[in-house]
Each structure stands twice: as structure tokens, then as C-alpha cells.
Amino acid sequence: MKIFDERFLPNGDQKPEDYGVYPKSVHSAPNGETVFMARERESDVLIAPEQVGFIGARFTNQAGDACVKAPLNHENAALLRKIFPFASPRPVLGESRTFGVGDRLGIAAPGHLRALRRYDALPVLAQQSIRELNLTNRTYDDVLDRATFAVFREDWDRGFGADGDHLKTLDEVKYALSCGYTMITLDCGDRIRNNVGDMTDAQVGETYSPRPDWEKKYVGRRVTLDRGVSLEFDEASFARMALIYGDAIEFACEIYNALIKDAAVDFEISIDETMTPTTPAQHYFVARELLDRGVSFASIAPRFCGEFQKGIDYIGDIDQFRREFLAHAAIAKHFGYKISVHSGSDKFAVFPIVGELTEGRFHVKTAGTNWLEAMRLVAMKDPGLYREVHRFALSAFDDACRYYHITGNPRNIPNVDKIADDKLPVLFEQNDSRQLIHITYGMILSERSADGSFVFKDRLNRLWRENDEAYFDLLDAHIGRHLELLYRGFENI
């Protein structure tokens, strides 16, 4: 950050605050030119002397310098990253604490950064799956560019990551890497055999062809780890785990060797999208096989016991979660990677356990929470618009349910037309309505009228822009609560 000179402005009679200069965005380029960001009604702009190279409208500032007012587009984001390395993502998972904050709308990062400033965790600001890109009609470039501009605007110089989340194919991984993403989360779910749980031992025996190297390494063995964790591999359970995870291990090796090995990125193995929880022994098996085959990775996301549903707190037996998480954490510590907790939005009941049992080394991903906070803001600021969206969400609920496993039931949601304006935000304290709004986000944002215009999207964007400070405050409090509970788990150890 540098001291702002009013002569950098286009008009002589304006103060920086009248012109909308973001105070923290004032930076000095390597050649000494001042680059900053300012707010216009519809969007923000970058302002810099012409020779810096941004593409935009030219003007002469009060000091008589030829300048450019540049829109926040991809070309200008790429140049910004080049000039200011802190605006580029980098691998961050090696840090003890990292926190993924997917931002589906591309407007939440300043709020996320406010909460993160109070903690030492590094953020992964760009974090989207291909499905999320499709539902929001965005690209990996756009998602990363929004993070870059937010980091520049807020002067966040501690570093951040960009996660191609839940990627399932070679082409998807290539796509994220080509856009400069610094983390690849490989979703092995399609290669995990989900029907093994229903097989009898005899059926397993018929399907599984034993591999001598695996048999020798695992069957009949007991592995003892820190904190009294011990894992046993008997013949029957091993045959099952080899059947469930054999292909997934193969797939992760292929992707690693083809694309990850020589790239400086964080590699995360995601085995959480399965029908049944990952047992500690299964987790150990997958990790050890990958490591023995030379795959190096930053984190594994197992599927934990209980339910991590979208947008609501943990559902399940906390004592069992604690017992199993202890084993998962001990395995990760033993091999030297981090446990990654997916669908981490609002899982307040388990955060202290995650913080404690990982001894403060974790990656947690949240995504939907900022969307719900954005809709809470709509309920607070424009009750009429909120009711419209809510009614639409109810009509879209059955369709949206096909993509999500949730227990929320629209019948438990009070009639939105009978709730007083000032009570509407209370809907966001209720699990059924949280899930209703959560799972219908893609449909809400993409719904169009007969003339092709968006039914809600433009009005929502306008409201969010006009009330962005209020939105950042909501996010600060909400993400702050996540971090506070995670840190509470280990800070007093």
C-alpha cells in the first residue's frame, strides 16, 4: 500500500473517497507507477498510468499523466497477476491451516478476507467444481480473476490458493491447470465401487482377484499408529477394500503421472463422494498405496461417518465422529499430509474436534454458505424480491433434489407470505428453508423470462452491489464463526 496522491484522480475537485478509491488498493508497481482500484456504480475499475499496460479508456489525470481506466476483465487480471505476484494464487496446502471459501457469485472474497485476517489460516479463494461452473455459467478464468481483484483491492498479501475442485477426468484437470489453478482436487468417486457393501463374502470372493503384493503387505497385518490407533487387515475386509478402492488408486496414479507430477500444485485425493463412510483402514490403504507408487499429495478427503449435508450443521453421532476422526487424523499425521473436510459449511458441531485432533493442521472447504448469506441479505433488504425467489425455489425444489442428498422438507417451511418483512431473515435459521435456498441456487440464477432476460439474477446482483458492505459484514461474522470454532479446538492444547 502507498500514500495516495489526489492528482492521480481524473477530476480536480474530488477527494479519493468521493471518487470511490478503495484505500487498501493503492499499490506501487515495480517501476513506481501507482495502480489502484475505484468503485463505479455498476462495477469496479483499475486505474493506472498508460505505460503499465492495462486495456481500457484513456484519460489524463490531474498530474497531467496519461492514464487508463480499465475494466475488471480477464486480460487486465492476467496483467495484474504479472505485475503484483501477491495477486496470483500459489500452492498453500503445505501451511498448517488452510480454508477453502468457494465463491459462486464472485462477490464474496472481500468478506471472506475480513474474517481470515484475524487468523493465520491461508485461504483458497477460487474453489469451484465443474458442476458449480455450469450451474453459475462461469469459467475457471472468471473465478480466479474475481479472487485476484479482491486480493488486490483488499491488499491481501499473505497468499491464496486456487482449487479446481472435484475434478473427475483428465480433461477437467488439464482445464484447471491451464487456467493457473494451484490445487487439483481429484474426485475418485466414479472409480470407487459402490456396490461392494451389498455383496456377500462369497460374491466378493468371486469378483476380487487377489494381488500377491497387496496380500503380502496387508492381509493379517496390524498397523499401530500414534494415540493408540490400531488398524487391522483381515482377509475378508481387505478383499472388500481392494475391490472398492482398487480402480480409484489406479486412476489417481494415472492422473498424477500424466499431469500433476511436474506441476507445482497441491494435489488432493477426494474419496468422499461415496455411498458409505471411509473406514480408517480403508483410508490407510488408499494413502499407503498412493505413496508407495510415488504419488505425492497434500491432502485426502475421506467420507466421514454421519452426514455432511449442504448448508446445515453436522448430523450424526458426535462421539463416533470423534473416535473415527482421531484415527483419520493419526493416519494423515503418520504419512505427513492433511485431512481435508469437505462440505464444511456450517459444521459447527465438529469444528472443535477437527481443530483438536488434527493438532491444528487441517484443510476445510466451504462453499454454499456465502450464497445463503447473500440470500439472507436479500431477505433483510428487499422482502418482496426475497418472497419471489423463495416461491420460485419451492417450485424448483423437486428438480433440484435430484442433484443433492438432503433431508430438508419444504412442508416444514412457514408460508413466506404470512411472515412479516422483518422476520424473513429468520428463515435462514431454519434447516429446511436453508436447504431449499441452498440447492436451488443454480436454478434461481439461471431462470429466464420469455424474452430471454434473467428473472432474478440482475436484480439480485444490483441488490448485492448496493449493499456490499452489509454483505461483507454477514460473511465476516459467518466465516469467522467457522474459524473461531476450528481454532478453539487446538489453541488451548
Phi, psi of 96 (to 5 degrees): -60, -45
**Whole-Å CA distances, 463 to 185, 235, 405, 456:** 33, 60, 30, 11
Q: φ, ψ for residue 424 (rounded to 5)?
A: -55, -40
From first CA to last CA, the distance across the chain in angstroms is: 37
Annotated active-site positions, please?
A: 165, 268
Query: Which of 132/154 has CB closer to Zn ion?
Result: 132
CB of 337 to Zn ion, least distance (A): 16
On whether the CB atoms of residues 245 and 239 are closer than 8 A, the answer is: no
The smaller minimum CB distance to Zn ion, of residues 110 and 311, is found at 311
x/- letters, 263..292, toward Zn ion (CB under 5 A): ---------x--------------------
Q: Is 132 in the site for Zn ion (CB under 5 A)?
A: no
Which range in 103-111, 339-347, 409-417, 422-430 contacts Zn ion by CB under 5 A? 339-347
CA 154 to chain centre: 19
3-state secondary structure labels for all residues of 3-38:
CCCHHHCCCCCCCHHHHCECHHHCEECCCCCEEEEE
Provide, rounded to whole angstroms, the least separation between the CB of residue 270 and Zn ion.
5
- For Zn ion, the closer CB: 142 or 163: 163
Residues comprising the chain, all counted: 493
Q: Does 342 bind Zn ion (CB under 5 A)?
A: yes
Q: Which C-beta is closer to Zn ion: that of 10 or that of 189? A: 189
- Choose the stretch contacting Zn ion; rule: CB under 5 A; options: 278-286, 342-350, 356-364, 446-454: 342-350
- Footprint of Zn ion on residues 191-220 (CB under 5 A)? none
Environment class of 12 (CB within 10 Å of its CB; exposed 0-12, middle 13-18, buried 19+): exposed
Stretch that binds Zn ion, among 21-29, 47-55, 100-108, 337-345 (CB under 5 A): 337-345
The least distance separating Zn ion from the CB of residue 142, rounded to whole angstroms, comes to 22
Please report how close the Cβ of residue 364 comes to Zn ion at its closest, in angstroms.
12
Angle separating helix axes 235-255 and 170-178, nearest 10 degrees:
40
Number of residues that bind Zn ion (CB under 5 A): 2
Q: Which is nearer to Zn ion, 290 or 379 (CB)?
A: 290
Consecutive H or E run containing 422 = none
Of the candidate spans 110-118, 341-349, 350-358, 435-443, the one that interacts with Zn ion by CB under 5 A turns out to be 341-349
d(CA 337, CA 300): 8
Rounded CA separation 123/102 (Å): 10
Three-state DSSP class for 269? Answer: strand
Minimum distance from residue 336 beta carbon to Zn ion (Å): 22
Stretch that binds Zn ion, among 63-71, 242-250, 338-346, 401-409 (CB under 5 A): 338-346
Residue 176 CB-density burial (10 A; 0-12 exposed, 13-18 middle, 19+ buried):
buried
Q: How far is the CB of 340 from Zn ion (least distance, A)?
A: 8
Q: How far is the CB of 306 from Zn ion (least distance, A)?
A: 15
| Residue 409: CB minimum distance to Zn ion, A | 24
Tell me what percent of the chain is helix, strand and coil, each rounded to the nearest 5. 50, 15, 35
Q: In which residue are the cell numbers 469496479 written? A: 44
Contact pattern from residue 221 through residue 240 relative to Zn ion, giving x for each residue in contact according to CB under 5 A and a dash for the rest: --------------------
* Maximum Cα interatomic distance, the chain, rounded to a whole number of Å: 84
Cα separation of 106 and 68, whole Å? 24
Sheet with 57-60: strands ordered across: 27-28, 34-39, 44-49, 66-71, 57-60
Q: Is 332 helix (H, G, I), strand (E, B) or coil?
A: helix
Which positions from 394 to 433 touch Zn ion by CB under 5 A, shown as an x/- string? ----------------------------------------
Q: Strand pairing partners for 268?
A: 185, 299
Report if residue 97 touches Zn ion, rule: CB under 5 A: no
34 CA to centre of own chain: 32
How far is Cα 135 from Cα 172, in angstroms, rounded to an integer? 16
| Complex with Zn ion: residue 272 or 346, whichever CB lies closer | 272
Q: Which residues pair with 232 in a beta bridge?
A: 222
Which residue's Cβ lies closest to Zn ion? 342
Stretch touching Zn ion by CB under 5 A, among 27-35, 305-313, 340-348, 370-378: 340-348
Q: Please report how close the Cβ of residue 365 comes to Zn ion at its closest, in angstroms.
A: 7
Of 84 and 304, the one with the shorter C-beta distance to Zn ion is 304
Binding site for Zn ion (CB under 5 A): 272, 342
